[in-house]
Amino acid sequence: MIQIALLLFGANFVRRNAYLLGVLGLLWLVAGLVIFIDALDGVRYFPLVLFGVLLLIESVITLSVAASGIGAQKAVLYFKGGGFFLISLLILVNDTISNILLAIILGMAYFVMGTLQMASAWLVRFPNWRTAFGFGLAKVVFAIVMFGPYPSHYSATISVFMGVILITGGIVTLNVFLRARQLKDGTSVFELFMPSDVLPKIRRMQLALPEKDSAPTAQVQSEPLTVHVWTPEGSSKNAPVRRPVINRYIAAVDVNGVISTGHAALEMLPQTYISLYPAADIDRSPSEFFRILKATGENDVAGLFQPDYATESKAWCPSNWQVKFHAYNRDGLLHFWQEYRQHEVYNLTYRNCSSSVSYALEAALDGALHDRASRSWTEVLRVMLMPELWIAAQIRKRATTMAWTPGLTLDYARALCAIVHPVSTPWFSRLLRVSKASNVSVSG
């Protein structure tokens, strides 16, 4: 989440406030260690009731905001708000049964997340998959610890959990701080945080901006930046078999057995269009399924960039979703595209149409909130508390440890658009409007 926020705030903000990241990371780490040790000595000083009340308030706000969510954002916010609401009630009850239920819920959540991360890392074999597998294994071990056999352990469930969360967050923030210190004049935040092999390694450092430019900034442009998405269901020629989650994020199979995986492209008029296809069709038969899912060099094939949206939509079909950005970093996107297009390689799970669009979008939004971040710390805090920032971070984490798909790219673009172009009406006012509209509809 911090990386996305720093990307949007821009290089000038990061260089000016990098030391604050180090202080924040150190404070989180120390606080986590104190809370974790406090949970182990049998005498708890952690303000459990206060934490439960704050979590309850946050869950109610999240559930209220969820009503105005778009697409999958609504489901994610309802899931987060409902989960936090249940956990807060169990914390406030604070008896043996509720503490055991807390240990089961939190332990199962980490067990499932760790197992899925290990499975996806082993199956896809993306770069640094062993590190991701190790973190997944650590989550599974932590889940087993949460299921500890001693009754006294359950009373310290939240303290142990919060301690580990803060320790992990502190380590991640300190890592971001160490990388942010490397940000030199003329280097973009996107170039600093993007995966090392998105661009060819030899040409990678050439992405830095010219010396005269201290940092990339976004401006309101005359033509919008458009993310085009063909979802598997939307691009299916015939009626797809109903499989909600699979159809949305993986592939849709129509009534005739034809598979549709969808597509994603990014358009910046007048002449920038990023749409990557394999130059030749890939064998997607069941016998080859597990082999082609590996993000290894043996599955790299020749790629082909489409010329423009008009040509692509005429040859296939129009995109069924478009997300438009009116303020973006044109120079940042052009620098990225200039280098990315030199490497015409396609990989089904690692360098595909969706990953190309997602990384290009990040390059285009580098410094998109520079003006708001420079205005006041109130604006920075407001962005950090936006639920869409948390959603964008979760989507990006899932995609980078599994694979970018058109569905994930669509949700990611929507979340970033909500951050860059926030609605002017507060969430509680929108909620009142929805309630009034519902009452009018019912009475009518």
44-78 pLDDT tens trace: 677 778 888 888 888 888 888 777 666 666 777 78
Rg (CA), the chain: 23
Structure tokens at 311: 């040509």
Tens digits of pLDDT across the chain (444 residues): 888 888 888 888 888 888 888 898 999 899 888 888 877 766 667 777 888 888 888 888 888 877 766 666 677 778 888 888 888 888 888 777 777 888 888 888 889 989 988 988 888 888 778 888 998 999 999 888 877 655 445 567 778 888 888 898 899 888 888 888 877 666 678 877 787 777 765 344 444 444 444 455 666 667 889 999 998 877 666 666 777 777 677 777 766 666 677 899 999 988 899 999 888 876 655 566 667 777 777 888 888 999 999 999 888 888 988 999 998 998 889 989 988 988 888 988 888 899 999 999 999 999 888 877 777 778 888 888 888 888 898 889 888 878 888 989 999 999 999 888 886 555 545 555 544 544 444 444
pLDDT of residue 441: 40
125 by Cβ neighbours in 10 Å (0-12 / 13-18 / 19+) ranks as: middle
Q: pLDDT value at position 41?
A: 65
Provide CB contacts within 8 A for 409, sequence distance 6+.
227, 229, 264, 354, 357, 358, 399
Tell me the per-residue pLDDT of 388-403, one tens digit each, with 9 for 90 and over: 888 898 889 888 878 8
Q: What dihedral do alpha carbons 45, 48, 53, 57 form, nearest 10°?
A: 100
pTM above 0.75, yes or no: yes
Query: How many CA atoms lie less than 13 Å away from 313 in the CB half-sphere?
Result: 16
Query: H-type helices in 353-386, by residue range?
Result: 353-364, 370-375, 377-384
What DSSP string runs through 259-316?
A: EE--EEEEEETTTEEE-EEESS-----GGGHHHHT--SGGG-EEEEE-S-HHHHHHHS
Cβ atoms 199, 340 nearer than 8 A:
yes
Paired tokens of 142:
């932590």
Beta-sheet pairing, 272-274 with 301-305: unpaired
For the purposes of burial, counting CB atoms within 10 Å of the CB of 199, is it exposed (0-12), middle (13-18) or buried (19 or more)? buried
Res 360: pLDDT = 94
Angle at 398 between CA 392 and CA 399, to 5 degrees: 85
Distance CA 400, CA 192 (A): 16
Q: Give domain limits for the chain.
A: 2-180, 199-368+387-421
Q: Tell me what pLDDT residue 102 has.
A: 83
State the pLDDT at residue 29. Answer: 92
